[in-house]
Structure 1
Amino acid sequence: MTSGTIRVGIGGWTFDAWNETFYPPEVKKKDQLEYAASQLKTIEINGTYYRGQKPETFAKWAAATPDGFVFSVKGSRFVTNRKVLAEAGGSMAKFFATGVTELGDRLGPILWQLAPTKKFDADDFAAFLDLLPKRHDGVPLRHAVEVRHESFAKPEAVAIARARNVAIVGALHETYPAIWEVAADFVYVRLQTGSDDIETGYGGNELAAWAERLRKWSGGGAPDDLPLVDPEDPAENRPREVFCYLIGSGKSRAPAGAMALQARVDGAMDEEREG
């Protein structure tokens, strides 16, 4: 294998504007997940951030998706919205008790989103990452953390995450720090600056640039046009699975943008294989 799988998707599958821009009129609300999963390779479940779910709910979601489809799941806010992350063990146990592993082979990375006010504290950050379980109910787990305070943009934070194989989310955002280091055996990107005025959320040149970046990561390298906080310590060069979500600004156009970006990625990789 010379490159890892690239999956491009959106956040959630229920949004009123998508009834006009994404879902055909004949698709009923109860069937929206099944339709969205037929058009996309991944969806980030955001409802889990706000409230607990039930095992049967996760099982139902998994059953509505085709083979090869993968969810990422946002961890509970009760785990991450705290002054001392190292004290989150109890809340984390409650989160995993909701039955997230019922997703089975549809379970991808679990995203832990820190509060914008949470500053980098090396000991606390390391202690929090050490709480993240590598397995639950016999299911292997992968974790990504989205840091949203600029104090995390330093080599020490990257080193702590890399030592524990936890991805730091590459966030394209107006205010969150841009940390593009590869810290795990997969890559997690959230593109959050789209526009509702563009049919695909991002222009053609932007999509082409992101397609090339995703391909670079999947092949084991790193884009040469994204700045690193620690360019002297690159990640190991090896194929990696890549997850990319169009989310946030320009949400009405996110499905179209995700499909367009996925098509660019897949087309380029098909050409590579044929060549």
Structure 2
Amino acid sequence: MGEILVGTCSWTDRALTGSGWYPPGRRDAEGRLRHYAGRFPVVEVDSAYYALPDARTSTLWAERTPPGFVFDVKAFSLLTGHPTRSSVMPDGLPADPRDPTVLDAVWARFTEGIEPLRAAGRLGGVLFQFPPWFRPGQWAGAFLRECAERTAGWPISVEFRHPGWWRREWADVTAALLARYGMTAVAVDMTQSLPSSIPPVAPVTSPRLSVVRFHGRSASWGTGSKEDRFRYAYQEAELAEWLPRLRSLSGRVDALHVLFNNCCGTAAVRAAETMQRLLTGADTAPAAPAPPASPAPPASPGSRSTR
């Protein structure tokens, strides 16, 4: 049976850092990561979507975390077809994904930025989260093939935001396509009440890794502010619904990553703690006391808009 690693999709989210979950003396960059890594074995690097990762920072991350801790790195926005701000492009290059020279430069910089994690054995996976307009079809298949060629040997996971990929008429084709390229199909938990809802299917498309991302079940998915979309506190019974599927997945892969993306205040870390307890049957370490609930701070422009 593969190892099940539970964590969250950020350890630096503003709502979390301001919630009181990090104790006094552990609220600087190093202290936050060390505190988080003492409680969970995996985390997603959401910041790599918004700005290309830096090799020096990746080196520090590896040094500040214990053996066995891994990072799932989210692919830079330009590499998944999302709008990208010119200000975060390297060397003053235009944010033009159609320009092969630009793409080559961005791929090279992204690869360089995550190399210290890979070299240290700390790269759990690279998440390619595609936008809602990335729909099934010939063009998308060619795009995935190019991604596979550029990431040969990497542990790649793919999350689709267009529901058509996992609807009945496409699901088998989608699974076969990802399996052909050795890519992990990301399963999601989210509200099922919207036309844009992604079905909670969990196919195994790579023997090395399976990933489940819990987005919360807000009915405001796809609309409203980031707080509206991701403000959701999972009940224990809702998490327990997933236990048979998670255990089944872990029996078919080398590792299973269970990541909570309901990153508003302490909701994600609390859900992750509960899931760890449910999976192991043991209590997790006592959590730092949280202050009374208060509204999450407003997101900065462009931040976490795609989570």
| TM-score computed with the length of structure 1 as normaliser | 0.78
Partner of 1:100: 114
Query: 1:209 offset after TM fit, Å?
Result: 2.1
| Equivalent residues of 2:213, 2:259 under 8 A apart | yes
Partner of 2:212: 189
Partner of 2:295: none
Where structure 1 has 5 or more consecutive residues not aligned to the other structure, the ranges are: 221-238, 269-275
Q: Is 2:161 aligned against 1:145?
A: no
Q: Is 2:56 aligned against 1:35?
A: no
Query: 1:95 offset after TM fit, Å?
Result: 4.3
Q: Distance in 2 between matches of 1:97 and 1:40?
A: 26
Q: Distance in 1 between matches of 2:108 and 2:52?
A: 9
| Equivalent residues of 1:158, 1:183 under 8 A apart | yes
Q: What RMSD in Å do the two structures reach over aligned CA positions?
A: 2.8
Equivalences for residues 125-274 of structure 1 within 5 A: 125-133=141-149, 140-153=153-166, 154=170, 155-174=172-191, 175-178=196-199, 179-185=201-207, 186-193=209-216, 201-220=233-252, 239-248=253-262, 250=264, 252-267=266-281
Query: 1:67 offset after TM fit, Å?
Result: 0.7
Q: Is 2:85 aligned against 1:64?
A: no
Q: Is 2:141 aligned against 1:118?
A: no
In the alignment of these two chains, the number of paired residues is 242
Structure-2 change in CA distance of 1:148 and 1:117 (3 Å): same
Where structure 2 has 5 or more consecutive residues not aligned to the other structure, the ranges are: 84-96, 219-226, 283-307
Tell me the SS of whatever aligns to 2:43. Answer: strand
Tell me the SS of whatever aligns to 1:100. Answer: helix
Structure-2 change in CA distance of 1:160 and 1:91 (3 Å): farther
| Equivalent residues of 1:134, 1:142 under 8 A apart | no
Query: 1:87 offset after TM fit, Å?
Result: 8.0
Query: 1:37 offset after TM fit, Å?
Result: 0.8
Q: Distance in 1 between matches of 2:32 and 2:178?
A: 36
Q: Distance in 1 between matches of 2:79 and 2:124?
A: 19
| Equivalent residues of 1:42, 1:69 under 8 A apart | yes
| Equivalent residues of 1:110, 1:142 under 8 A apart | yes
| Equivalent residues of 1:9, 1:245 under 8 A apart | yes
Tell me the SS of whatever aligns to 2:19. Answer: helix
Q: Deviations over 1:183-236 (max 9, x none)?
A: 11221111011689xxx931121222223321111012xxxxxxxxxxxxxxxx
Query: 1:25 offset after TM fit, Å?
Result: 2.6
Tell me the SS of whatever aligns to 1:20. Answer: coil
Equivalent position amino acid for 2:268 in 1? A
